[in-house]
Structure 1
Amino acid sequence: MNVIEMRDISKRFPGVLANDHVNLAVKKGTIHAIIGENGAGKSTLMNILYGLHRPDEGQILLNGQTVSIHNPRQAMKLGIGMVHQHFMLVPSFTVAENVVLGFEPQKGLRFDRTRAIRLTRELSEKYGLNIDPSVKVEDTTVGIEQRVEILKTLYRGADVIILDEPTAVLTPQEVQELFQTIRFLTESKKTILFISHKLQEVLHIADTITVMRRGKVVGNLAAQDATEQQLASLMVGREVLFEVEKQQTRIRDTLLEVRGIQALDKRALLAVKGVSFSVRRGEIVGIAGVEGNGQTELVEVLAGLRPAIAGEIVLNNAPIHHCSVQERRQRGMAHIPEDRMTVGLNLKGSVADNLIAGKQRQIPYQGSFLYSNAKEIKMYARQLIDAFDIRTSDPDATASTLSGGNMQKMVVAREFSFGAPCLIVSQPTRGVDVGAIESIHQKILDQCAAGAGVLLVSAELDEIYKLSDRILILYEGEIVGEFRPHQISKEEIGLYMTGAKRQERGRM
């Protein structure tokens, strides 16, 4: 029996036909994956199902009955829940407070905290989520935050749960834990809609796969009958290279030196503990590690977004640890941040404004009397939009209207366009599709071949392996191993990432 049917759904935004007569049928108690390029219409379709958008045409059937879903609260009453790619939690609240928020149990006129904790614990145990209801969200990991979001949907009575890019910010271990949770949910007769770009994961977890391209459904397949190459070709409309060819580059003199850097996290605890390494021109140095082991703080210190409490940073033989972000950029550093939403972009600004950021005061983009030269800015923006295949209706479109993957392409396009010799690249392909991953990887290699030095921080071990000349492993704020890709297996790297192994300092 189909629990969800979406028939001939169409949705238009200014200049964009996001969904073009889409049909979707989802069987009860199954895991149904929806895949496609960035901007293919996946999230728009699910936002319609969850009541965040209204369709221009078409109808939705729930258990065979036509329904009109005007808002998320109505969707929740119908048993449809959604876990968004960017979590919507209150960090200073406990797990239990976040789970019941908006639907709080009452004792008289007051919030019944004891009951909220009990209900959260019971749900957590019932679905094998194993979360402490009393801990504050800000003191948990990203994987736990996602479980809290799932608990929120279950608390509200969801039988259909939409997971939008659920593994984008998870470690390999957390992905496996999530998959165990998903299977447990389907065994409990829940239905999962799984939006993803990661084809290996989709083939591993899904029962059925719907492929979308440019707003249309281009394929419906049983996961057991599909291949990664077949799905990729359907997604992008051409053959995709899963392995970019890494040419041997000439590694030259030292470009970036990091000496004994120490830094605090947001709780004023020591997160980076005397880290030292170097990056040479023509070299890609990868940093592997489970998220939360100091990578974020280290990158923010290098980019000038967080002060170091000790140590030195030397770029092109000149110290920069006291320089501002802008001064570091002027001296030849570009930075792709891990969080495009809060650090990488001005979501209220236009696509053109975001692409020109950092160059807006340069000729020809600045006109007379400090006014911007709109014509030149638009022309420049269109060049980057074409070069990086950013799917947008217009350079004047607001950045927040783009899909997450196209937002990421905007950040990558802007930072690579500076021609900076030193690139600090953090999670460059998070939330982007296979075609864009291929393109971004190639552009990183091109920058390296042109003589740039690249520091690559990624939660994707495959990415680290494919691109890096050297791999540094970070655990609890310290470098615990340094290897070349051919010297170590992914399984052994996992032991270093979890602290089970540690290389002697003299051997690094």
Structure 2
Amino acid sequence: MDASSSPPLTAQSTVAVELTGITKRFPGVVANHDIHLSVRKGTVHALVGENGAGKSTLMKILYGMQKPDEGTIAVDGEQVSFGSPADAIARGIGMVHQHFMLADNLTVLENVVLGSEKLYGIGAGARRKIKEISDRYGLGVRPDALVENLGVADRQRVEILKVLYRGARILILDEPTAVLVPQEVDALFHNLRELKSEGLSVIFISHKLGEVLSVADDITVIRRGTTVGTAVPAETTSRQLAEMMVGSELPTPETAESTVTDRPVLTVDKLRLEAEGGRAVLDDISFTIHAGEVLGIAGVEGNGQTELIEAIIGLKPADSGTITLLGEDITAWATRRRREAGVGYIPEDRHRHGLLLEAPLWENRILGHVTERPNAKGFWLDIKGAQSDTRRIVEDYDVRTPGIDVTAASLSGGNQQKLIVGREMSHSPKFLIAAHPTRGVDVGAQAAIWDHIREARREGLAVLLISADLDELIGLSDTLRVIYNGRLVADADPAAITPEALGSAMTGAASGHLEDTETTTDDDAGPEDEAR
């Protein structure tokens, strides 16, 4: 590893894009300071760093969404200046955002050509081009498929095809594996290798260091807004990368001791939820979570997890079945009453269900708890109480912000997540819905969130954990269930199952009780060994 220089170039490996001395300031904060990034043609270049390190700002500058205050951008050796994403696209730069930007009610073809109708038309010419790109890079995209019927991995491939359709030779992928199971990650990495074999360059932003080491050719680490080092995967480990990022070792989610009691906290019995036309999106769902227990639900997104969460929190009424909290039937209760009874909620989509993006942080601290202390005194809001407690959350949960009066939209995604987790844990819930609690957070914040969940579990908290991070599911859960097509189809022992076996069950390849047949017998294997 080298804290100052970029990877050496060869005659066959010239620079595709180079950022030099990039600095970007916002009121009260310097997001980027003198950042240097050099991406070689035909390579996957990983960009890693903790939440708030400046990764998103840097990529927005490269994609023309923001202008740097200082520094230069060069593409193929020529200095450029972007005033908008259209300028970046014109120079062959495309970006696939973590939150996909597709219209569900349109077909794949319609999504791909939207805004680029002049390139190949909207009919046969566009269809031929889509098929050509899909076949060339092994994307397997079906032009006539309706986007709302696609799984998350297929949607991601559509997003990649969109930028290739517009002529991109440099692709920015923001947290591309955040919602993929291991088999889908393998397929994505195969696609990336196809892209770079054709001379394309990929900037790969991720917090999953094992994946970074397996797919990247070069790695750049940024911390607190500046470049702190570069690394070659063959010469570094996950632990070393973690130390560069946050100054600490790579955390693990393992729970050492069982805290499960025989006291039921939440019971779901024969729950059924139907979509329009009578099709069941949840069918015969039954389980009980006890005090001190974490029940993990594993499943490819779109198999009923969202509907299960919405039914339990009260956003969607069940068509049949019952939900019981501490022995009391809450099936007909409104969401507010469930919250006041001790149901905590970390939503899977923090922007839609967790935050008011244009409101200050202290107002976001009140959300979902408007009638509870310290946000309220009797019938009145206690603004000073909410503001004081927001400062405590910012400190205890390491929310990187210049103050509590800035808007939630001004925070990085990981810092938004830490604010939500801090808000929900601050009310000592009896039962917690934790949907992707560490999605988009760095290893340091991930460790802190795991610690908060483990501590609350020791104190008797019952947790429903839904996550796309299979290591997180296996490590934190006392009990594991698999959901597929709206039904619980398998259960697994977290102490024995591997991510690969669990991922196989999530795709419908197995049912019943799952047993691990691939567990390593090398007790000394570390994170860096597993990453290889």
Same fold (TM over 0.5): yes
Structure 1 counterpart of 2:67: 54
State whether structure 2 residue 369 is matched by structure 1 residue 356: no
State whether structure 2 residue 435 is matched by structure 1 residue 426: yes
Q: How does 1:248-259 map to 2 (within 5 A)?
A: 248-259=258-269
Structure 1 counterpart of 2:527: none
CA contact (8 A) 2:182 2:500 kept: no
State whether structure 2 residue 15 is matched by structure 1 residue 2: yes
SS at match of 2:22: strand
SS at match of 2:73: strand
Structure 2 counterpart of 1:336: 346
The structural deviation recorded for 1:54 is 0.4
| In 2, Cα distance between equivalents of 1:263 and 1:54 | 48
Q: Give runs of ≥4 in structure 1 deviating > 6 Å.
A: none
CA contact (8 A) 1:288 1:457 kept: yes
| In 2, Cα distance between equivalents of 1:334 and 1:278 | 17
Superimposed CA distance per residue, residues 412-443 of structure 1 (whole angstroms, 9 cap, x where no aligned partner) = 11111111111111111111111111111111
| In 1, Cα distance between equivalents of 2:442 and 2:374 | 34
The structural deviation recorded for 1:444 is 0.7
The structural deviation recorded for 1:267 is 7.7
Structure 1 counterpart of 2:475: 466
CA contact (8 A) 2:253 2:471 kept: no
> How high is the sequence identity, in percent, across the aligned residues?
46
Q: Which moved more, 1:59-68 or 1:27-36?
A: 59-68
- RMSD of the alignment, in Å? 2.0
Superimposed CA distance per residue, residues 84-105 of structure 1 (whole angstroms, 9 cap, x where no aligned partner) = 1111111111111111111114
Q: Which moved more, 1:137-146 or 1:267-276?
A: 267-276
Q: Which moved more, 1:372-381 or 1:468-477?
A: 372-381
SS at match of 1:37: coil
Structure 2 counterpart of 1:479: 488
State whether structure 2 residue 153 is matched by structure 1 residue 140: no
| In 1, Cα distance between equivalents of 2:249 and 2:235 | 19
SS at match of 1:5: strand
Superimposed CA distance per residue, residues 447-474 of structure 1 (whole angstroms, 9 cap, x where no aligned partner) = 1111111111112221111111111122
Q: Which moved more, 1:328-337 or 1:187-196?
A: 328-337
Q: How does 1:382-397 map to 2 (within 5 A)?
A: 382-397=391-406
| In 2, Cα distance between equivalents of 1:78 and 1:64 | 12
The structural deviation recorded for 1:268 is 5.7
CA contact (8 A) 1:105 1:116 kept: no
SS at match of 1:162: strand
Classify 1:58/1:489 alpha carbon distance in 2 versus 1 (closer, same or farther; 3 Å). closer
SS at match of 1:217: strand
SS at match of 1:485: coil
CA contact (8 A) 1:356 1:381 kept: no
- Tell me, which stretches of 5 or more residues in structure 1 are unaligned? none
SS at match of 1:11: strand
Alignment equivalent of 2:414, drawn from 373, 398, 405: 405
| In 2, Cα distance between equivalents of 1:106 and 1:218 | 41
CA contact (8 A) 2:253 2:476 kept: no
| In 2, Cα distance between equivalents of 1:361 and 1:331 | 12
CA contact (8 A) 2:266 2:323 kept: yes
Q: How does 1:113-152 map to 2 (within 5 A)?
A: 113-152=123-162
Report the count of equivalent residues. 501
| In 2, Cα distance between equivalents of 1:360 and 1:255 | 24
Classify 1:451/1:392 alpha carbon distance in 2 versus 1 (closer, same or farther; 3 Å). same
| In 1, Cα distance between equivalents of 2:425 and 2:321 | 28
Classify 1:411/1:368 alpha carbon distance in 2 versus 1 (closer, same or farther; 3 Å). closer
The structural deviation recorded for 1:23 is 0.9
Q: How does 1:229-240 map to 2 (within 5 A)?
A: 229-240=239-250
| In 2, Cα distance between equivalents of 1:250 and 1:310 | 29
The structural deviation recorded for 1:172 is 1.8
Classify 1:94/1:250 alpha carbon distance in 2 versus 1 (closer, same or farther; 3 Å). closer
Classify 1:381/1:19 alpha carbon distance in 2 versus 1 (closer, same or farther; 3 Å). same
State whether structure 2 residue 466 is matched by structure 1 residue 494: no
Superimposed CA distance per residue, residues 462-495 of structure 1 (whole angstroms, 9 cap, x where no aligned partner) = 1111111111122222222223323444444334
The TM-score normalised by the length of structure 2 is: 0.90
- Tell me, which stretches of 5 or more residues in structure 2 are unaligned? 1-13, 515-532
The TM-score normalised by the length of structure 1 is: 0.94
State whether structure 2 residue 293 is matched by structure 1 residue 283: yes
Superimposed CA distance per residue, residues 4-47 of structure 1 (whole angstroms, 9 cap, x where no aligned partner) = 11111100111111001111111111111000001100111111
SS at match of 1:395: coil
Structure 1 counterpart of 2:228: 218
The structural deviation recorded for 1:106 is 8.3
